[in-house]
Amino acid sequence: MVETDSNKCKRCGQCMSVCPVYLTTFREDDVARGKLALLERVEAGAMNRSKRFEEILSRCLLCGACAQVCANQVQTSRIMQAGRQRLFELEKSGQAESALLRVVREGRLSAKGLLKGGALLQALACRKIPESSGLYLRFPLSYFTERRTVPPIAWNPFIHAFKSESSVETDGPRIGLFVGCGANYLFPDVARALVGILKRLGATLVVPENQVCCGLPAYVSGDTKTAQKLAKKNIEAFESLELDAILSVCASCGSHLKALPSLFSDEPASRDAASSIAKKHMDAMTFLVNHLGIEKYLKSLRPAKSEERTTLRVAYHDPCHLRIGQGVTDSPRRLLKALPGVELLETAHPGQCCGHGGDFNLSHFSLSMEILNRRVTDLDKVQPDTIVTGCTGCLLQLTEGVSRGGLSGRIEVCHPLVLAEKVIESCLTPTRRRQDPPISQAQHTGAGQ
């Protein structure tokens, strides 16, 4: 067995009600129950291992929704992850060949893809982004051929840009920011928004230059050794800084930082160091709400008087890595509700996955788009002006979904912190006319229409 836990499955079927893959395909082998039954047969030698094994392991978003409802606490995503690690090791030793990993590493690139990829593709191809970045796993060349929206690259990544800013020491808490590849290269406005808000609330911000990718993309593709190496570099970057908290702005990075100790079950010293990082880590929105009193600050602001002013209708999408990975659902909503001039809308199926799921959107692009379409349909039904979400993977995916649904002109997609900073700015500069550029970072390529 890949992990003995799978024997605990009682085949009750409870997980069928929440699995985003099953709810799209209605295939028994896509739900936790079916996957675990097939894995048992594979392990018992009743089925050919390679192709079937790979298929079972790859058709999972590792969202964790099944474990949340499972009375027997079967950790299906962990079992799938352990299987991917095994597959990765077999592949490395030449005993197996994984299409799942191949698609991540290779991919074919058409001329259309080259045009669409633009700056991001150039940055990847020219190694302007370090090799350790998870963006190589998130954006293999094949990525550019199928998507309509490809994010522009920040030629001056956030960590480099931050160096030139004066980081003022205050009497407030001393905060370390784990930036993550998404916010560093693709959505630097998210990290900049946090910088602005922390300054207003009187915190000291430290952004270690030697931090690297959190390691999640390597981990979900089964490459645990690379994930461990990256984790050690991040531990080294943060451990001596005497911080009150370490914040992340991307739910995926954050959930991985929380789980860092589990990477080192056989290395007690690294596990202890990882635990101290994990204990200090908090999602930025949660820290702002629970420890910096941002609601009180926001409620003290008055919306700008303007003839153009109307209430902004905002729908919040719960990232799985925040809702399930970190147990955070309340603080982003509290932050949004406290924003002057913003109406928070709740959608049907609020915890539904967007279908991004690490490398799932690479290896099963069409299925990922079907899952996305269901989520965007729910979001669109509440007629939002803006969709907000606290994960850079969800930001990419939902921007794609809004584009595919023909909603790009009507709905913007951004991080709640970007919206918050924009609202604060507009309250503090009431006479300025609203000529700000669109919040959304993604560049609409218009391809595939």
Chain residues in the site for ligand SF4 (CB under 6 A): 9-15, 18-21, 32-33, 35, 60-66, 70, 72, 74, 76-77
Cα gap 314→387, rounded to integer Å: 6
Q: How is residue 253 written in tokens?
A: 């990075």
Residue closer to ligand SF4 by CB (options 60, 159) is 60
Alpha helices in 281-319 (DSSP H): 284-290, 294-299
CA distances from 179 to 63, 253, 254, 412, 432 (A): 22, 9, 10, 23, 31
**Which residue from 220, 208, 274 is spatially nearest to 77, judged by alpha carbons?**
220
Cα gap 156→83, rounded to integer Å: 38
Residue closer to ligand SF4 by CB (options 63, 137) is 63
Closest separation in Å from C-beta 352 to ligand SF4: 11
Closest separation in Å from C-beta 17 to ligand SF4: 9
**Which residue do the tokens 């893809």 mark?**
113
**Which residue from 425, 403, 423, 405 is spatially nearest to 415, judged by alpha carbons?**
423
> To the nearest 10°, the Cα dihedral for 265, 267, 273, 276?
20
Closest separation in Å from C-beta 10 to ligand SF4: 4
Closest separation in Å from C-beta 54 to ligand SF4: 15
**Rounded (5°) CA angle 84-400-382:** 110
Residue closer to ligand SF4 by CB (options 62, 277) is 62
Residue closer to ligand SF4 by CB (options 38, 96) is 38
Closest separation in Å from C-beta 20 to ligand SF4: 6
Closest separation in Å from C-beta 177 to ligand SF4: 29
Q: How is residue 246 written in tokens?
A: 């370490």
**Which residue do the tokens 């490459």 mark?**
223
Closest separation in Å from C-beta 207 to ligand SF4: 33
Closest separation in Å from C-beta 18 to ligand SF4: 6
The string of DSSP letters for 22-83 reads HHHH--GGGSHHHHHHHHHHHHTTSS-SHHHHHHHHHS-----HHHHH-TT---HHHHHHHH
Residue closer to ligand SF4 by CB (options 148, 364) is 364
Q: Are strands 149-150 and 412-414 parallel, antiparallel or unpaired?
A: unpaired
Closest separation in Å from C-beta 258 to ligand SF4: 17
Residue closer to ligand SF4 by CB (options 18, 246) is 18
Residue closer to ligand SF4 by CB (options 355, 416) is 355
**Which residue from 388, 374, 283 is spatially nearest to 344, judged by alpha carbons?**
388
Residue closer to ligand SF4 by CB (options 21, 237) is 21
Contact 186, 139 (CB under 8 A): no
Closest separation in Å from C-beta 76 to ligand SF4: 5
Residue closer to ligand SF4 by CB (options 64, 176) is 64
Residue closer to ligand SF4 by CB (options 25, 290) is 25
Cα gap 33→80, rounded to integer Å: 12
